[in-house]
Amino acid sequence: MNKTNKKNHSIIPNKKLLRSSLLIALSFAIGGCAMIHSDKTPLPQTDLSQIHINDAPAGALRAWPGNHWWQNYHNPQLNHLVEQALADSPSLAVVRQRVEIAKAQTDRARADDLPIVNFGADVERQKMSAEGVMGPFALDDPAAGTTGPWYTNGTFGLQASYDLDLWGKNRAQVESALGVYKARQAELAESELLVSSAVTQIYWDIQTVKALQDILIEVKAQEAIIADTDRKLYNEGIISSLEQTETETQFTKIDEQIDASRGNLLLLRANLQALVGLKTPLPALKTVPLPDVISTLPQNLSYELLARRPDLQAAHWYIDASLSQVDAAKAAFYPEINLMGFLQNDALHLSDLFRGSAQQMGGILGLTLPIFDGGRLNANLSIVQSNSNLNIASYNKAVVNAVTEVTKGITQLQTISDQSAHQTEVVDGDQKIWSLTQMRFQAGLISGVNVAKAKLPLLAEQSKLIELHGRWIDADINLTKSLGGGYRASGTSSKS
């Protein structure tokens, strides 16, 4: 018999049958289902409120970084580069697609928890076997109601099904998918922070290299004065060829440093172009002074760090998702009860398909009860519980890394700040020495070459101060990044 004829023999369950089925289902659920052999205890999560960071720089302001923290440098050129990178960065495009996939998976999980209603229709041309159960229909005997052996069978109607989800397995899977979606959103925020901080760092590295390059050009100018003087003294026999050769060699070394500086600039520009994408060529960057650094450290640093760091929030949501997966794995040990029904027309001849007598309907109460599965359910539960503990362990590690980054950022910023203050004093001292040398030159007490030689130590110390300034800016950006860069979680976890 074909499937259509089977449906003709379907019986709509009456109340007694439905009641009996429920009683049987409950009895199996109580005594016959597969048992959970092992239930792993979740690892404890690190409590951020118990973590204290005491090494704050003196005089630090009590404020978290803003959403557009790079604008605090008041540089339109930098602002444009960061905006371009956030819009066109290839790495961000990859992460955004992961967010879209997670959103679609969440929508699908929600849909799996809803009833399903389908409309179906089919037409089948078939020849009945005279030797089978339907053998009489193979005869061509209109008086007996058979016009075989060929029939054109038609069916159309509605079919519906619904999983009652008594134990919450589907709901747990929805919560798990939602947790992954929120984690992906936090990962996107983390990627945006990494891109914006990388662009900002490279931009100020370029400006630092340009400032050092200007110092090298000035050093070359002073070395040229010295070399020209030594050349004249050598021609007059006052100094030896050794001294003159040493001067020319030093002059060549300056050219080598300038070449290295230009190569460094090209590499930095290439890295910056990769970050902002290839849609728009990188513009020529105007040289600007390096900005002053104003360090900020927020109040309530420890317990708010979770909501302020996107990587911690991502790890937090992955824990939520894994705990929901554990709930779903436990619910799989209990029976599944499904409701199914159909309302349709079915006829052996298309001419009879739309008659009232061709209508058929039915309802099915389905029960699936795991009794012996070879340990599959327990193995799956062990896997998802281990994955959940792995997510918790990863979160605890991320907390340690976050606190370490903040502590290192504070220490590095304070150390470079102290070094810069001392280096400024050294530069001021050399500046006075050079000024006094200029005064002696103007008084006719020394030659111009002595002024050039006196300026070289000043330029060297100024170069060190610029390098410290560049490192100071990098440390400020790293601290801002370790504080979350203005990120703020939109919601809190429901399971932690």
Domain ranges of the chain: 35-113+168-335+377-482
Tokens standing for residue 106: 């969440």
Does pLDDT of 459 surpass 50?
yes
CA distance 187 to 181: 10
Mean pLDDT of all residues in 165-194 = 94
Q: Are strands 116-127 and 150-163 parallel, antiparallel or unpaired?
A: antiparallel
Does pLDDT of 251 surpass 80?
no
DSSP 116: E
CA distance 409 to 420: 16
Model pLDDT for residues 203-248, shown as the tens digit of each residue:
999 999 999 999 999 998 888 887 777 677 666 666 556 665 676 7
DSSP class per residue in 245-281: HHHHHHHHHHHHHHHHHHHHHHHHHHHHHHHH-SSSP
Over the chain, what is the mean pLDDT?
84
Does pLDDT of 272 surpass 90?
yes
Q: Model confidence at 197, in pLDDT bands (50, 70, 90)? A: very high
CA distance 87 to 84: 5
* pLDDT at residue 1, rounded to an integer: 39
| SS3 per residue for 390-427 | HHHHHHHHHHHHHHHHHHHHHHHHHHHHHHHHHHHHHH
* pLDDT at residue 157, rounded to an integer: 94
DSSP 296: B
Compute, in degrees rounded to 10, the torsion defined by CA atoms 344, 349, 354, 359: -30
Mean pLDDT of all residues in 458-466 = 94
CA distance 491 to 496: 13
Model pLDDT for residues 159-179, shown as the tens digit of each residue:
999 998 888 999 999 999 999
Q: Which residue has the tokens 């992954």?
A: 180
CA distance 237 to 35: 103
Model pLDDT for residues 295-345, shown as the tens digit of each residue:
556 655 666 777 889 999 999 999 999 999 999 999 999 888 899 999 999
Does pLDDT of 5 surpass 70?
no
* pLDDT at residue 496, rounded to an integer: 45
> Among residues 386, 388, 86, 320, which one has the least CA distance to residue 181?
320
Model pLDDT for residues 67-104, shown as the tens digit of each residue:
899 998 999 999 999 999 999 999 999 999 999 999 99
* pLDDT at residue 494, rounded to an integer: 43
> Residue 329 class from Cβ within 10 Å (0-12 exposed, 13-18 middle, 19+ buried)?
buried
Query: Is the domain covering 35-113+168-335+377-482 a CATH 3.10.560.10 domain?
Result: no
Does pLDDT of 273 surpass 80?
yes
Tokens standing for residue 339: 């409701």
Q: What are phi and psi of 361, to 5 degrees?
A: -150, 160
* pLDDT at residue 60, rounded to an integer: 46
* pLDDT at residue 192, rounded to an integer: 95
* pLDDT at residue 69, rounded to an integer: 92
Q: Which residue has the tokens 């932690």?
A: 496
Q: Name the 3-class secondary structure at 364.
A: strand
R_g over Cα of the chain: 39
Contact (Cβ atoms closer than 8 angstroms) between residue 121 and residue 347: no
CA distance 399 to 409: 15
> Among residues 132, 156, 473, which one has the least CA distance to residue 291?
473
CA distance 187 to 179: 12
Compute, in degrees rounded to 10, the torsion defined by CA atoms 181, 184, 185, 191: -170
* pLDDT at residue 444, rounded to an integer: 79
> Among residues 329, 395, 236, 475, which one has the least CA distance to residue 36?
329
CA distance 348 to 124: 9
Model pLDDT for residues 11-35, shown as the tens digit of each residue:
344 555 555 555 555 555 444 456 7
* pLDDT at residue 179, rounded to an integer: 95
